[in-house]
Chains A and B, each alone.
Chain A
């Protein structure tokens, strides 16, 4: 890959890595608290999967930046300040109730599947291979989340109401799911990274159909982005304070 594109691609992938890492943390907050034992197990696994996917992206960022792939990811996760994170705001929001958790995970994972398919065509082979690996694991998330969207959307009046409320709250955040990286033009022209607009269109069609099948209404049109990936909600800072607390106690410790 062209040397001048490497830092641009690294920045784009850092956004994806941070999304997965922060969502993994939110998912892990259900461990020991999920409504039923099966979901405690499922969400602990989903959290672990997302953390693993974050790890793959962070390693790619390390390689693109000429950093050590075994140690650089920990530096990125545990020793960056909140304003250096590039996650989208949807993943920062507190875990909420079960309906909120299901809707957020469905919106995020369904978007991820669209993105992974496109990334599988990247002309940067390590990126294409990583996307192929992650896509295999995401099939299980997809099955699981679709089943829950249907179960709760078509369940009782109460479950439907909670799902619709969660969707209404989350939908405005979906505009950021396919926010183009700042240097998208160059990356797309080089075939390294897919065009966001086409992915967004494919995603919104599929996601809205699944939600409609579950009796859930999406707001018309896709919301705007409203600020880039360096703008965060007030929820990121306390999340990172917890996530980073142990590592920051003893930065030189070996794990």
Chain B
């Protein structure tokens, strides 16, 4: 095998792993990869959970381990870090249209005042209308909310602003 893996190659590989619950975003686009460190004996990745109880976290950890070992890393350490806490602001701006296309309304950004952000109408990802309301600040995963569009009379989901 030709030399150690470059840090850039690791980032590229992580950019190929998708979030198991939002499969249109890579872990890099989701903003959960905090740090990559290539060491002599392997690779260390610092991973931030979106939410503490996120059930997808262990899947992400396992996938990172598998993919980087397949690249030739002898040892892969995936460390869960909390600092600074993940925020919906950390989702890459260029990834936001992918969320809309997937039917998930991105969270308003930047997060400054939570009450104001929750009170502002979310755009319906299907018809684009702002005539929408929050139906539930809890959704099918910890990081999502449930909304309703009064224009196209359809429910939709959004990213929970944190």
- The answer to whether B82 and A56 have CB atoms under 8 Å apart is yes
- The answer to whether B54 and A133 have CB atoms under 8 Å apart is no
Closest chain-A Cβ to B159's Cβ sits at a distance in Å of 13
- The answer to whether B55 and A48 have CB atoms under 8 Å apart is yes
Closest chain-B Cβ to A22's Cβ sits at a distance in Å of 15
Contact partners of A46 in chain B: CB under 8 A: 138
- The answer to whether B83 and A48 have CB atoms under 8 Å apart is no
Q: Which chain A residues in 132-168 approach chain B with CB under 8 Å? A: 132-134, 136-137, 139-140, 143-144
**Chain B residue, CB-CB nearest to A134:** B52
Task: Give the interface segment out of B5-13, B65-73, B139-147.
Answer: B139-147
Contact partners of A49 in chain B: CB under 8 A: 51-53, 142
Contact partners of B51 in chain A: CB under 8 A: 48-49, 52, 137
Chain B's interface size range is: 20 to 34
**Chain A residue, CB-CB nearest to B141:** A45
**Chain B residue, CB-CB nearest to A130:** B82
- The answer to whether A53 and B53 have CB atoms under 8 Å apart is yes
Q: How far is the CA of A144 from the CA of B145 in the complex (A)?
A: 13
- The answer to whether B114 and A129 have CB atoms under 8 Å apart is no
Q: How far is the CA of A140 from the CA of B117 in the complex (A)?
A: 13
- The answer to whether A132 and B52 have CB atoms under 8 Å apart is no
B137 at the interface (CB under 8 A from A): yes
Of A45, A51, A56, the residue contacting B139 (CB under 8 A) is A45
Q: How far is the CA of A50 from the CA of B54 in the complex (A)?
A: 11
- The answer to whether B82 and A48 have CB atoms under 8 Å apart is no
A208 at the interface (CB under 8 A from B): no
A55 at the interface (CB under 8 A from B): yes
B160 at the interface (CB under 8 A from A): yes
B162 at the interface (CB under 8 A from A): yes
Closest chain-B Cβ to A108's Cβ sits at a distance in Å of 16
A52-B138 contact in complex given A129-B82, A136-B85, C-beta closer than 8 Å: no
B136 at the interface (CB under 8 A from A): yes
B39 at the interface (CB under 8 A from A): no
A111-145 CB mask vs B (1 if < 8 Å, else 0) is 00000000000000000011011101101100110
Contact partners of B160 in chain A: CB under 8 A: 140
A41 at the interface (CB under 8 A from B): yes
Q: Which chain B residues in 83-139 approach chain A with CB under 8 Å? A: 83, 85, 114, 118, 135-139
Q: How far is the CA of A132 from the CA of B162 in the complex (A)?
A: 12
Of B52, B80, B118, B135, the residue contacting A137 (CB under 8 A) is B52
Closest chain-A Cβ to B128's Cβ sits at a distance in Å of 25
- The answer to whether A45 and B52 have CB atoms under 8 Å apart is no
Contact partners of A134 in chain B: CB under 8 A: 52
- The answer to whether A144 and B82 have CB atoms under 8 Å apart is no
Contact partners of B55 in chain A: CB under 8 A: 48
Contact partners of A48 in chain B: CB under 8 A: 51, 53, 55, 142
A42 at the interface (CB under 8 A from B): yes
Q: How far is the CA of A53 from the CA of B80 in the complex (A)?
A: 14
- The answer to whether B54 and A52 have CB atoms under 8 Å apart is yes
Closest chain-B Cβ to A166's Cβ sits at a distance in Å of 22
Q: How far is the CA of A56 from the CA of B51 in the complex (A)?
A: 11
Contact partners of A59 in chain B: CB under 8 A: 80
Interface pairs (6), CB distance under 8 Å: A45-B142, A52-B51, A132-B82, A134-B52, A136-B162, A139-B114
Chain B interface (Cβ within 8 Å of chain A)? 49, 51-55, 80, 82-83, 85, 114, 118, 135-140, 142, 146, 160, 162
Known contacts A129-B85, A132-B85; can you find 5 more A-B pairs with CB under 8 A? A45-B138, A49-B142, A129-B83, A133-B82, A140-B137
